[in-house]
Amino acid sequence: MLTQEKYQRMKIDRRANGVVLVSLNRPEKMNAIDNQLHHEMMTFSRDFADDPELRVLVLAGEGKAFCVGGDFSADSAIDMPSLTEARRIIDHILECEKPIISAVQGYALGLGANIALLCDVVVAGPDAKFGDTHVKMGIGAGDGGQLIWPMLIGVNRAKYYLMTGDMISGKEAADMGLAGFYVEQTKDLMPKALEIADKLAAGAPLAIAASKAAVNAYMRTVSASVMPISLQAEGLTLHSQDYKEAVAAFQEKRPAKFEGK
């Protein structure tokens, strides 16, 4: 069951028609991922999948951002998470047979971006900023970026954004296929996401599950090849001097100086 009692970093709002709104809930940190939120990202989609009362999940972020990725601040920095947990975050989303919609406002960066893009339907607002910014922290893009970005926008364009960490606006994301829907005003973002959720919740659950099953099976096949390599490479970069320099530069609010060590 997907209930509030099981979650500290996510707000769970169950609605009468089988729709549940799950909000990443660290607004004071722009929903940056600490150890607890990383763990909850691994469990929410499976709890949703196993909950017989729920049909559709809408994933959003409290406050001004969807999720800015890992928390590198001195007071609550994320530890190096296990590769097993990182892999399960992606696997559990792809294994879920029920629809998941992301409603993206503000920054969706790093793992935050990839979680949003792995959802079945992506709705972007006018202030949305998507970016897999791992490289800016001296880290390989291992948290699903090498899986989902090429699928959505093509290999070469994906490699450019993964290698640079450049950000993409909500409108640009919709134009290039990262987002399926775009709203021109922030106030319309959640109504649009819930409109889609209500439409799916009123549909035939077995038919909807059957209609995404083969697509997700294909994605899981690719994931089985891509994720072990990307996570292993990410793990190696987490032990690099460049990563340590990036964290220090972030905390000291200065540009990082990378040396390839």
pLDDT digits (tens, 9 = 90+) for 97-150: 999 999 999 999 999 999 999 999 999 999 999 999 999 999 999 999 999 999
Residue 246, classified by CB atoms within 10 Å of its CB into exposed (0-12), middle (13-18) or buried (19+), is buried
- CA atoms in the 13 A half-sphere facing the CB of 33: 25
pLDDT digits (tens, 9 = 90+) for 16-28: 899 999 999 999 9
pTM of the shown model: 0.96
State residue 47's pLDDT score: 98
pLDDT higher than threshold 90 for residue 210? yes
CA–CA gap between residue 80 and residue 98 (Å, rounded): 31
State residue 137's pLDDT score: 95
Provide mean pLDDT across the span 56-84: 86
State residue 77's pLDDT score: 60
State residue 4's pLDDT score: 98
Beta carbons within 10 angstroms of residue 166's beta carbon? 14
pLDDT higher than threshold 80 for residue 74? no
Domains and CATH numbers, the chain: 4-187 (3.90.226.10)
Q: Choose the weakest-confidence range: 9-13, 21-25, 76-80, 240-244.
A: 76-80
Handedness of CA 23, 26, 31, 33 (dihedral sign): negative
Provide mean pLDDT across the span 231-250: 93
% residues pLDDT > 70 (the chain): 97
* Planar angle of CA 251, 257, 260, nearest 5 degrees: 120
- On whether the CB atoms of residues 42 and 83 are closer than 8 A, the answer is no
Q: Where are the alpha helices (DSSP H) in the chain?
A: 35-49, 83-95, 111-118, 145-153, 155-164, 170-176, 189-201, 205-237, 241-252
Provide mean pLDDT across the span 241-254: 94
pLDDT digits (tens, 9 = 90+) for 138-150: 999 999 999 999 9
Q: In sequence order, what are the residues at sequence separation of 6 or more whose Cβ sits closer than 8 angstroms to the Cβ of residue 105? A: 60, 61, 64, 65, 66, 125, 127, 128, 186, 189
Which helix (H) or strand (E) segment holds residue 58: the answer is strand 56-61
* Amino acid letter, 53: E
Taking CA atoms, 41 is separated from 156, 170, 185, in Å, by 29, 23, 28
- On whether the CB atoms of residues 118 and 94 are closer than 8 A, the answer is yes
